[in-house]
Amino acid sequence: MNELQAILSAARRAWAANETPVLATVIATRGSSYRKPGARMLVTSEGWRAGSISGGCLESDVVRKAVWLIEQGTPVLRTYDTSADGEVALGCGGEVDVLLEPFQVDGPLAKAMEQVLDTRRAVNHTVTLPNGATWTETLRPAPRLVVCGAGHDALPVHQLALTMGWDVQVVDWRPAQLTPTRFPGATTHLLASDALARLPLEAGCAVVIMSHHLLYDARVLEAALASPLPAYVGVLGPTKRTKDLLETLPKTLSLDRLRAPIGLALGGEGPAAVALAILSEVHAVVHGASASPMSRAATGTT
């Protein structure tokens, strides 16, 4: 469950109890900050319920302010100074503007969140701040990961992707392997090789091919590369195996999105390490990141 889903789920429980929770949203940051604009957390009369706006340093104060706001019912724009001399005095060196507002069941933000979850399409949302300014953000659905293969090594890929809040779709042709018990929280698709036109692809998704069956992998790879929707297509296995797969496919297919061998060179051994290498590369591609060490960016080296 991603952050948007978790917040909406917690809010629904509060609404069902006839309570209006408080939503804290990062509106702007200056300098260093753990979370960026758009990060949220939900607070009820019982305290924190979902989401986060920092690495844990601001949440307790937001909960205290939210309890007051629940009683007052008016939005508040709060600035937190996390420099060494600031009121939070964490030495992080940044400022964070946080909007605290009642989260109404029939409000425009709740409706926008519902629309994103229902349609899996981005939605723009604009709010008027207490100081009269307006702030617009784009609410986006969680990245979609299509795991083609339900073998033992697909389990940690699915588990790690769920931990990251992604929308996980698992595709296989073996009903004994493809069960909700093996892949809790994922959507499963039992598709034979003649039904791969129904792959759950969407714009910007990532496709990981790892069924360990040469013919099935070839059919999935052809379907993924023929579609303009995936941003990432990766194939598990050695280079020679992928070359053999490509020999069976139409020569007109573009290989620009193909990652093979799949994953980043992180080292390690075993399914969990492979899953980490795969999802690290997928995450970088989906977010348009370089996957280079942060220490190099900090020092300006390449």
CATH number for the domain spanning 261: value is: 3.40.50.720
pLDDT of 297 > 80? The answer is no
In a domain, 163, yes or no: yes
Would you give the DSSP letter of residue 252? T
CB burial of 162-179 (b: ≥16 within 10 Å; e: otherwise) equals: beeebbbbbbbbeeebbe
Give the total number of structural domains in the chain: 2
pLDDT of residue 57: 77
For 197, the domain range is: 144-286
At 99-147, the pLDDT tens digits run 999 999 999 999 999 999 999 999 999 999 999 999 999 999 999 999 9
Does 214 lie in the same domain as 130? Answer: no
Q: How much of the chain exceeds pLDDT 90, in percent? A: 74
Last residue of a domain, one of 117, 139, 161: 139
At 266-287, the pLDDT tens digits run 998 999 999 999 999 999 999 9
Does 181 lie in the same domain as 269? Answer: yes
Does 162 lie in the same domain as 38? Answer: no
At 13-25, the pLDDT tens digits run 999 999 999 999 9
> What's the whole-model pTM score?
0.89
pLDDT of residue 85: 54
51 forms beta bridges with 41
Residue predicted with more confidence, 86 or 137 = 137
pLDDT of residue 94: 80
Last residue of a domain, one of 139, 172, 206: 139
Does 164 lie in the same domain as 234? Answer: yes
In a domain, 293, yes or no: no
Does 89 lie in the same domain as 172? Answer: no
In a domain, 295, yes or no: no
pLDDT of residue 295: 77
Tokens of 251: 């020569």
Does 159 lie in the same domain as 210? Answer: yes
Does 155 lie in the same domain as 60? Answer: no
Q: Which of 44-58, 183-197, 223-237, 260-274 has the lowest mean pLDDT?
A: 44-58
Last residue of a domain, one of 113, 139, 165: 139
In a domain, 240, yes or no: yes
Does 19 lie in the same domain as 105? Answer: yes
Torsions phi, psi for 65 (to 5 deg): -65, -35
Q: Which of 9-13, 77-81, 180-184 has the lowest mean pLDDT?
A: 77-81
